[in-house]
Amino acid sequence: MKKLIAIALMLAVFASCAALAEEEAKVLTHAEFIALPLEDEAGQAIEQEVTVETYVQAKQGWWDNKARIYTQAEDGAYFLYDMPLSQEEYDALVPGTKIRVHGYKSQWSGEVEIIDATYEILEAEPFFAEAFDATALLGTDELIDHQNELVSFKGGKVVAKKDVNGNDAAFLYNWDGSGAAGNNNDLYFDVEFNGATYTFTVESYLCAEGTDVYKAVEALKVGDVIDMEGFLYWYDGANPHITSVKAAE
């Protein structure tokens, strides 16, 4: 009898462990990921353990054995913050690659991201997101619903920013104009849509000096009418990281 009880207990433990493993391995839809709260009932920030399947879209640099990666699946996008990986692993994560990611949902200055992530590559046909036209959502509460997605903004007019000397400029090296050409600084430029002005960024870790978009912004003039594409990053509000700029069609 004791042996039967012991076996029954062991089976119960195995079943419990299997159920726990299955729960931990549950792959969330994007809607389920978004629905997970970022604060507890007391308003304190919390980090939720998550597993998602998604596709690499762009890589925002590699250093110190970690990288920031934009990913997107058919139902939504995820930003992987400082995911640990080697240079060889980073090189292997080419755009379109499907990966299963396990980590923690977190938030920093409004940017929802997955931190402390690990990943595995999955066999699948490559997926490349098509840019969602978010032009009409600028200045609305609905814009954040497309956070981290590849988006486009069409038909905006470049307006002047003030450089460090108070002069009008079509763009600035660094947010405050403290940078200069040849130093691979981020680029900041303002674009007007329907009478309202918004700031856009070329993040040098994502699109470095010498890339097509970096050179296109350096060539901008006040009054140019342009179309843009990029990833809808968030930093205390919308802070799109632009990957393409061209004359408006």
Query: What are the structural domain ranges in the chain?
Result: 30-122, 132-247
Amino acid identity, residue 248? Answer: A
Q: What does the angle CA 42 – CA 108 – CA 26 come to, to the nearest 5 degrees? A: 75
Amino acid identity, residue 126? Answer: P
Non-local CB neighbours of 186 within 8 Å, separated by 6+ positions: 173, 174, 175, 179, 201, 202, 203, 204
Q: Return the number of other C-beta atoms located less than 10 Å from residue 121's C-beta.
A: 13
C-alpha 18 chain-centroid distance: 33
The confidence score (pLDDT) of residue 191 equals 98
The confidence score (pLDDT) of residue 87 equals 96
How do 132-133 and 150-159 pair as beta strands?
A: parallel
The confidence score (pLDDT) of residue 61 equals 87
Listing DSSP states for 54-86 in one string gives EEEEEEEEEETTEEEEEEEETTEEEEEEEEE--
The confidence score (pLDDT) of residue 19 equals 44
Q: Classify domain 132-247 by CATH architecture.
A: Beta Barrel (2.40)
Task: Please state the pTM of the whole predicted model.
Answer: 0.88
Structure tokens at 31: 């809607």
The answer to whether 30-122 and 132-247 have equal CATH topology is yes
Answer for the pair 220, 75: CB distance below 8 angstroms, yes or no.
Answer: no
Please give the Cα distance from 96 to 150 (Å, whole number).
13
The confidence score (pLDDT) of residue 165 equals 85
Please give the Cα distance from 71 to 96 (Å, whole number).
9
DSSP 3-state assignment of 209? coil
Structure tokens at 82: 């400082």
Homologous superfamily assigned to 30-122: Nucleic acid-binding proteins (2.40.50.140)
Mean pLDDT per 10-residue run, the chain (249 residues)?
A: 44 44 75 95 92 97 95 98 97 97 97 98 98 98 98 98 90 92 95 97 96 98 98 97 97
Please give the Cα distance from 96 to 53 (Å, whole number).
12
Please give the Cα distance from 142 to 31 (Å, whole number).
15
